[in-house]
Amino acid sequence: MMFRTVYLFFRYFLGKPVPETPEFDADRAIADHALLEARERARHGDWQAARKVIEDAGNDWELRGRRVAELSSLAQKEDGWLYAWLRPAPSDPSAVHMQAVMLGGRAAVARGSKTAEHTSAEQFVDFEQLSEAAAQVGRRAMELAPPGDPLPWVTFMQAFFSDRHGRGITLDEVFDEGRRRDPYNFDLHFRAVTLRCQKWGGSHEQMFSTAREVAAAAPPGANSVMFPLFAHIEYVLLEIAWDKKLEPSVRGAKRYFRRAEVRQELDQWIAKWRAGTPNPANRSTVLQWVAMFYILAGRRKAAREVFDELGQYVSPVAAWAYIWGDREYGYLSSWLWANRI
């Protein structure tokens, strides 16, 4: 810390620009001001504001999904406003879907993020019960969804993390219907790639196939173009970083992402993504994946430019923890390297 302070002082003294240190502030990282206002009003009981900001997203399913996710995070902790919405409108598609997302989020919190051997029996019981409740509400959300809305299918895919075969409907059926409604939906494919990875009972082949299929089909600029990069990160987690200490994990990841065939493929997908206009709802997530790649590939200048795009306020994505063990540490240590600090 002292070295960084001295370095920054001399950089300032020599008239060189001093970069703004990242601040991990999830609220200030959200550029959607309408969402922030609606969430604050919902926190004080104004559920109509939540309903309006969701409906205002229209058929921009990526934006709508991001707004539902943020509001459901509030509902996980403070659900009074959501049930105040459901009481007079128990068949409101948006409210029922929000309830399903909220229950799924609570299930994930109950399960925790540790491996099975470090998860208690009580955690598993709570996870199963909340997952079942989320699945039941999720089915109703699917029944109420208007034509074209893929989001209840995106949400229902959460159920397959706890039970891949016992829901009376297969993962492929849910995924296919979601794709029929929105062929390149980011959240839908995020869950599909995750559920088809080896750590969740799939395989590396299934994971990469799902990621590359949507990347090839999606138009330039679509955030789904970058799922092959996410698949490579998942591969490194399982094959290189799993249960490893920090230094071996990072060293192994660097060797992998510096392989010529990996660099060539990812440069191709990044070029396609850069050729269009990404949806801002998940742009930060994708930019962070790209920054990770550039860091591990040893491309300091490219990584610094991506960190500059991300700005001062950021909410680090989980993928940083895959290799560095902690998302904030991974982000900050990478930012420091990119800025030669």
| Domain presence at residue 251 | no
| Domain presence at residue 72 | yes
Predicted pLDDT at 130: 85
Nearby residues of 195 by Cβ (< 8 Å), 6 or more positions away: 157, 160, 161, 164, 171, 201, 202
Predicted pLDDT at 202: 93
The 3-state DSSP class for residue 234 equals: helix
d(CA 154, CA 188): 5
* Interstrand relation of 313-314 and 23-24 (parallel, antiparallel or unpaired): parallel
| Domain presence at residue 194 | no
pLDDT truncated to tens, each residue of the chain (341 aa)?
Answer: 444 555 555 455 555 566 788 999 999 999 999 999 999 999 999 999 999 999 999 999 999 999 999 999 999 999 999 999 999 999 999 999 999 999 988 888 876 656 666 667 777 677 778 888 888 999 999 999 999 999 999 999 988 877 655 567 899 999 999 999 999 999 999 999 999 999 888 999 999 999 999 999 999 999 999 999 999 999 999 999 998 899 999 999 999 999 999 999 999 999 999 999 999 999 999 999 999 999 999 999 999 999 999 999 999 999 999 999 999 999 999 999 999 87
Q: Token digits for 134?
A: 């989320």
Question: With helix as H, strand as E and coil as C, how does 135-188 read?
Answer: HHHHHHHHHHCCCCCCHHHHHHHHHHHCCCCCCCCCHHHHHHHHHHHCCCCHHH
- What domain range is 157 assigned to? 32-182
On whether the CB atoms of residues 252 and 244 are closer than 8 A, the answer is: yes
| Domain presence at residue 274 | no
| Domain presence at residue 217 | no
d(CA 266, CA 282): 18
pTM: 0.90
On whether the CB atoms of residues 197 and 191 are closer than 8 A, the answer is: no
Looking at residue 238, the DSSP 8-state letter turns out to be: I
Number of domains in the chain: 1
| Domain presence at residue 6 | no
| Domain presence at residue 323 | no
Predicted pLDDT at 244: 87
| Domain presence at residue 231 | no
d(CA 195, CA 171): 9
Predicted pLDDT at 1: 46
d(CA 339, CA 329): 15
